[in-house]
Structure formats: C-alpha cells, structure tokens
Structure 1
Amino acid sequence: MSAMLEAEHLYKVFGRRPDEAVERLRQGAGRDDLRADGTTAAVIDASFTVDPGQIFVVMGLSGSGKSTLLRMLNGLLEPTAGHVRFAGQDLTALTDRELRDVRSRKISMVFQHFALFPHRSVRDNAAYGLEVQGVPRAERERRADEALALCGLAGWEGSWPDELSGGMQQRVGLARALATDADLLLMDESFSALDPLIRRDMQDQLLQLQKTLKKTIVFITHDLNEAMRLGDRIAVMRDGRIVQTGSAEDILLRPANDYVASFTQDVDRSRVLTAEAVMDRHVRGDEADCDCPTAAPDTPFTELCAISARLSHPVAVVDRGHAVVGVVPRQRLVGFLGDEPSSAPATCHTRQDNGGEKEVAHA
C-alpha cells in the first residue's frame, strides 16, 4: 500500500540566509547556534509517511515546530528544503494556483479556534469550502447538511454560530472539512480550546466518524493522552526535530530517549495497552483450542485484567485462526502498570488432536 502523504527531509528556517542555515544544520549545528545569528530553525530534517485511512498524530510542547510542520504539508508555508508528496504528487513543485486547487479540493484543515463566519448560518459555514470550489448552491447545501448530520448537528443548520456551544462550533468546523470530501484532513490543536469533557466527546466523535469515513488525518496536539487515544501512529517532536515515531504502545513501552520517557510517565497505561503489547510470546501452543480462557491481541488492557482476575492461571492470547500467539500471567499485568514490565516467562499448554504439544515461534 503506497503512502497517502510523505514528508521527506523537511526543513523550515526563518531569518537571514535560510539555505546556509539548512546546510549548517545538516552539518550538526543546533537551534541555539542558529539563534545566535538571528535565525530560527522551526523544523529540522522531518521525515515520515502517512498511510491511507490512518490517523497520524504529531505531538510536542509549544515551540516544538509541530504547527509549522503541519502548514508545510498543505503548502501554507513553503519548506526551506525537502519535499511533501501527497497521493504521489510533489506539492513543493506546484505553482501557487495548482496548490490552491489542491487545498480547496483534496486537503481540508480544521483549526483550533473554529474560524467560523459569524454572519453566516451553520449550514453556510459548513458549505463554505464547497462555495469556494464553485459547487452549485443546492448541491453544496445538501452536502453540508449531510456533513452536519454526521457530526451530530442535524436540526441546527439554520442557527448562527453564537447560538452554539464551543463543542458544537468545533463540530461545524469539522463538518466544513468533511463536506468537501477531501482525501486528507489536517487538524491543528483542534480540540485544545475545549473543556475537558467536551474535548473527550469530540475525540469520541472523531473516532466514530473515522470508523465510517476512513479519512487520512494528520492531527496536531500537545496532549499525550489525546495523542495516544487518537493516533494509529505518533510522531514526537522536540526543538524542531522528530525524536520518535511509532504506535502508542511503542512510545509508551519503548521510548527512544529520556525526553520521550518523561512524557509518558503520567500516562494511564490501562487506556493504551492491549493484550498484544503485554503478552509473553515465549510460549508453547498450537492452533488447537487452549485450556485457558482466551483473549484477542487487540483486547484492551482493562478487559484483560478482568479476565485474569477470574483465573488462577495465565490468559492465553489467540489470533483469528485460534493459534496461541502469547500468554499473559497476572504478575505481568501488574508489572506493566508499574515502571517496568515483568519479564518472567510463562507457558500455556494446548491440546492437539494427537495429544501432543507444539511450540509457538517467537514473533
């Protein structure tokens, strides 16, 4: 499967002689070295790919370069060096007119502060992108109403933005992005201005929509819990550089350095981990039924704990073909809730038609 979006060695430098600054960065200079000369390196050598239908989260503290990176992905900012490829097309090689056409039809953006027009109705706000495209009024209103319904705003089409709560206004912003049927959604801290309960509700809304629409999404956040909840893959940024890219479990269990580890220390692991992440793969098993009650690789950690609490032996983890791929002893669950996972091996014997046993290879 080819990537929907590719970032290749992206740099963004503000200030004097940016090309020279990029060369210095390539030779090992740091942000502070450039700042002394009045130059700011916002993004340094950023590379990643985003597959179709994936939510790719870029996470970092304020000033890490994540919003600058996002704006290079749709051409709002021109990279100082590097390339952005969208659906195989090099956006950095397009003319301004070609780039505007891509932004209006294929890439939509959802902003942090809603960016709604106060003098337009909810329907007209949701239809704005289609109006820019030149879609006839009846068609754009139909598509806007469909998008609003998807976002839980059916019945509010004729209302004004100031009649809506903050969460509802953000739903209008999301509906506006969905109405254009763009292939790529860019979401810049889209939920960070909302109250915690509304923010979680919007996360639920996005995940529910994603099950149906399967959009390709790049989501910017400074909140690690939000990143872990939403992201199929996560890139962690620090001082303009991507310091680690991986799944939520990779980031949590295998941090690349102390900086990433410090981010993860307060994360509720039970909301992130699955059976596959915590199971012991050094087991004995086969494609036959296991003597132990089983879990699937994607069984949530909390559900796994509930199963384990009823047993006096490990929980077997089986794949769709009913092959045992790992087991989870209770002490291992306790270990993963602490600072370090338990490394104690465990075995689970499984029945075969001939009564024998067979070892499952380490994955």
Structure 2
Amino acid sequence: MALRAEGLFKVFGRRPQEAVERLRSGTARDRLGPGTTAAVIDASFEVRRGEIFVVMGLSGSGKSTLIRMLNGLHDATAGRITLGDDELTGVAPARLRELRRDRVSMVFQHFALLPHRTVIDNVAYPLELRGVSRAERVAKATEILELVGLSGWGDKLPSQLSGGMQQRVGIARALAADTEILLMDEAFSALDPLIRREMQDQLLELQATLGKTIVFITHDLNEAMYLGDRIAVMRDGRIVQIGTPEDILTDPANDYVEQFVQDVDRARVLTASAVMERPRPVVAESAGPRTALRTMRDAYSAAAYVVDRDRRLLGTIEDRDAIKLVRRGETSIAGIVKRDAVTVDENAVLMDLFVPAVESKLPIAVTNEAGRLLGVIPRVTLLAALGPGPGATEEITLPQQPVPTTVIDQVLAEAEVAAADLKEVR
C-alpha cells in the first residue's frame, strides 16, 4: 500500500479537538457553531501502488484540504497518514520536509512555476534542493521535458508558454523529483476543454510508462471517470463512496451520488465486463453434433459459441451445419466451427461496441487477454446500459421467439434410432 489515511479530521477555528469529539458523537457539521469549520470529517482510505486514485467533489466538499493533508501542508486535527511504512502525521518539521522532498510531489492548479527561472530550471528545481550537481540536474530535466512533449523549450520563461505547456512544466517538475507519490490538485481545471483532454490523455500515457501512485483531485465527474482507477466521492467533508468508475456509475451509494452521476457519458465509462451476461449457448469443441444441437435447442438459438477445454473461444457453430453432420453420422464438430465470432476485450468501453453489435449475428462475445470467453452482450443489453439510472445495466430479458426445432428433433430422433440399430447389430 502506497498511502493510507485513517480517521482523518481537519477542523479550522476555535477548539478544534472539542469539535472533533462532537463530530464523532454525531453532531452535524453545521452545528459546530460560528468560527469553527470542519473541512474533513473521519476520512479513511488506502491508495494502492501504481493506481490513479481520484478524489471528487463539489466546491466546499473538503477535497483540496484533504490533499494538502496528504503532504503535510495542513496538519491533521485527528487521525493518521502513512506513506508506505513512514508516518506523516505528528512528525518533527525536519522529518516532514524530508518526506515531502523524497516521497511526495505535487502539481498545483495554477502551475506555481517560478516566473524568473527558465523552464529547464523550473523542472530541475527539486533536484537543486537535493544538492544534485548542475550538469546532472539539467540532463535529468532535459530527459523529462522530452517525456512530456516539451523538448526544445528548456530555455524559455514560463510567461512565453501557453497554459497547457505551463502545466506540462508543472508535471515535469513533479516527475523530476522522482517521488513515488504524485498529488495533483485540480491540475487541469484552469485549462481550455480541448487542452484539458489532451493533458488527461498525456497523463494516462505517462502513467502507463512510469507507474506512479497518483492522487488526483477534481470537481469534474467525466474527468474523474476517465482518469480514475478508483474514485472517492466527497460531500460536506466526508467520503460517501469509494469504488471504481463502474461501481459508482452502476451502484451509487446514496441519492447524492446517484444525482451526481446521472449526466455522465456512460458510453465512455462503462466497459464490456460491466454489462456482459452469462454466455449461452456454449459448446465444447470435443462435443459431438447431437450435443451441440441439443444445447442450441435448449437455448432457443440457431447458433452456439465453441470453446476449448480452457474455455478459450474458438468460433461459432450453426444448427444447419450440425444437422448435416448428424445425418452423415459424424461425431466431431471440429470441421464446421466458423472462426467468425465477433469478440471484444473485457475492458472495451461501450462506445466501441456499437459497430460490432450490428455486425454480429450472435451477441458480442467478451473475452480476456488469453481469449477466454467471459460473457456476451446482446444488443438489447448494450442499449439498456446507456440509459439513465443505476438500474440501467441490470440484465434485461425480453420474450424470445423459439427457433423452430422440428427438424432438429427429427434429426436427433433419427440419429438415436440409428445408434440403437448399430448397437443391436454389434
């Protein structure tokens, strides 16, 4: 675990410890009296190594106060913060400075660059504080500027850069510190929408390369859903829900969260694994054609998915092809398996499933990296998942018109009679 918060409180104003006890005993935040403000109330969470943990909430929810507690800019009124095995709360000032320098770096909303220093000197500043030589820190800063797409801009002043470029410098400076934990407080909210989305994409690209542990603060729900591996939703100083974007979108903890997420673009957040249903009908490659026909008949389907012994998807089989095998007396379906199954990865977002859904005769097959069949997505389920409300992704079963089975039954009966006759002859 990279970071852990346990029972955090931050109270501003008079008699903060008394306010904490009152809050613990059930006193409402707005009943603490004039001059006393509870910004963070009993916040507990863990941030895993290498994940982007987003703290989301409206103005006044306490999210910015919380992130400032995570690097010691605000002392906790009560509770504990640990960075790995290191205690952050209650340590001496010298130890706190050491932890901030070596364990945690921060990217601010309004860039916080040193205006009189060049871009490369801004990026190299954390290394300068550590006493790294000029040549070494310039080399490191040059490498990181290239990483964030600012190669060749090192000798410019911040005032000569656009807002998006200035924020890249802020990110580069945080990366130069080479800390495991990166705190980002509304880092992209001051940028124009197009630049903001570009910065979000670049952050994800950097994360895929560097694997930092990131705590990202935002009031923008779509940004939280796009960036976060997990999201903590705050309201009035309290964390009201922690979960993956899909958890929060499909199973909101209360009415507040449900209202918060009602306008989110579900097609860009929900993934195939979140809405898939149990796959059926499924036939093993080793099954005979009669078994395949019975499986399709029981599922009222004219086709089935074919898997190997490890449940890897091999393709599909149709009833008419299986009937031909039965009539010829063949016992293997291997020769008629069609390698035409339409598949999507379990992590594919719904936005990318519309075209495959139209092209597929069967529901879309959902597979993992190993090609294992995990589930299927019928078109009706795909459309229902895009509707509003937490129940939108619940499985919807529509009346199905049974596939005529007269021919199948006849062929199976003929095959059984033939098998009995053969047994008698033997």
**TM surpasses 0.5:** yes
1:359 matched residue in structure 2: none
Deviation readout 1:241-279 (Å, 9 max, x if unpaired): 001100111111111111111111111111111110110
Work out whether 1:343 is the aligned partner of 2:395: yes
Work out whether 1:133 is the aligned partner of 2:137: no
Work out whether 1:316 is the aligned partner of 2:365: yes
Deviation readout 1:94-150 (Å, 9 max, x if unpaired): 211011011112210000001111110011111111111111111111111111111
What letter is aligned with 2:395?
S
- How far apart are residue 17 of structure 1 and its match? 1.3
Query: Contact 1:116/1:173 (CA < 8 Å) preserved in 2?
Result: yes
Give the alignment partner of residue 330 of structure 1, picking from 374, 379, 384.
Answer: 379
Give the alignment partner of residue 187 of structure 2, picking from 171, 187, 190.
Answer: 190
Q: Runs of 5+ in structure 1 lacking a partner?
A: 348-363
1:12 matched residue in structure 2: 10
- How far apart are residue 44 of structure 1 and its match? 0.4
Give the alignment partner of residue 163 of structure 2, picking from 141, 156, 166.
Answer: 166
CA distance in 2, matches of 1:290, 1:237: 46
- How far apart are residue 80 of structure 1 and its match? 0.6
2:203 matched residue in structure 1: 206
1:47 matched residue in structure 2: 44
CA distance in 1, matches of 2:102, 2:370: 42
What letter is aligned with 1:329?
P
Q: Map of 1:81-100 to 2, 5 A cutoff?
A: 81-100=78-97
- How far apart are residue 86 of structure 1 and its match? 0.3
**CA separation of 1:283 and 1:11: change in aligned 2, threshold 3 A:** farther
Deviation readout 1:194-228 (Å, 9 max, x if unpaired): 01011111111101111100100000000000001
CA distance in 1, matches of 2:208, 2:75: 33
Query: Contact 1:105/1:133 (CA < 8 Å) preserved in 2?
Result: no
1:68 matched residue in structure 2: 65
Q: How many residues align?
A: 344
- How far apart are residue 343 of structure 1 and its match? 1.8
1:357 matched residue in structure 2: none
1:295 matched residue in structure 2: 344
Q: Runs of 5+ in structure 2 lacking a partner?
A: 283-306, 317-340, 401-426
3-state SS of 1:62 partner: coil
- How far apart are residue 38 of structure 1 and its match? 2.6
CA distance in 2, matches of 1:91, 1:342: 43
Larger radius of gyration: 2
Query: Contact 1:110/1:174 (CA < 8 Å) preserved in 2?
Result: yes
Question: Hey, which bits of structure 1, 4+ residues long, moved more than 4 A?
Answer: none
CA distance in 1, matches of 2:353, 2:381: 11
CA distance in 2, matches of 1:49, 1:290: 42
- How far apart are residue 300 of structure 1 and its match? 2.0
Q: Tell me: higher relative CO, structure 1 or 2? Use CA pairs within 8 A at least 6 residues apart.
A: 1
3-state SS of 1:92 partner: coil
- How far apart are residue 19 of structure 1 and its match? 1.0
- How far apart are residue 319 of structure 1 and its match? 2.6
Give the alignment partner of residue 251 of structure 1, picking from 239, 248, 253.
Answer: 248
What letter is aligned with 2:124?
A
- How far apart are residue 284 of structure 1 and its match? 5.1
- How far apart are residue 312 of structure 1 and its match? 3.0
TM-score (norm 1): 0.92
What letter is aligned with 1:213?
L
Work out whether 1:143 is the aligned partner of 2:195: no
What letter is aligned with 2:144?
A
Deviates more, 1:314-323 or 1:103-112: 314-323
Work out whether 1:24 is the aligned partner of 2:22: yes
What letter is aligned with 1:32?
D
CA distance in 2, matches of 1:171, 1:130: 18
- How far apart are residue 176 of structure 1 and its match? 0.4
- How far apart are residue 345 of structure 1 and its match? 4.8
3-state SS of 1:219 partner: strand
Query: Contact 1:331/1:342 (CA < 8 Å) preserved in 2?
Result: no
- How far apart are residue 75 of structure 1 and its match? 0.9
Query: Contact 1:282/1:345 (CA < 8 Å) preserved in 2?
Result: no
Work out whether 1:38 is the aligned partner of 2:35: yes
- How far apart are residue 342 of structure 1 and its match? 4.8
**CA separation of 1:18 and 1:284: change in aligned 2, threshold 3 A:** farther
CA distance in 1, matches of 2:42, 2:280: 42
CA RMSD of aligned residues (A): 1.5
- How far apart are residue 88 of structure 1 and its match? 1.6
Work out whether 1:80 is the aligned partner of 2:91: no
1:265 matched residue in structure 2: 262
- How far apart are residue 318 of structure 1 and its match? 2.1
CA distance in 1, matches of 2:44, 2:97: 24
Work out whether 1:121 is the aligned partner of 2:114: no
CA distance in 1, matches of 2:136, 2:163: 28
CA distance in 2, matches of 1:296, 1:202: 26
1:106 matched residue in structure 2: 103
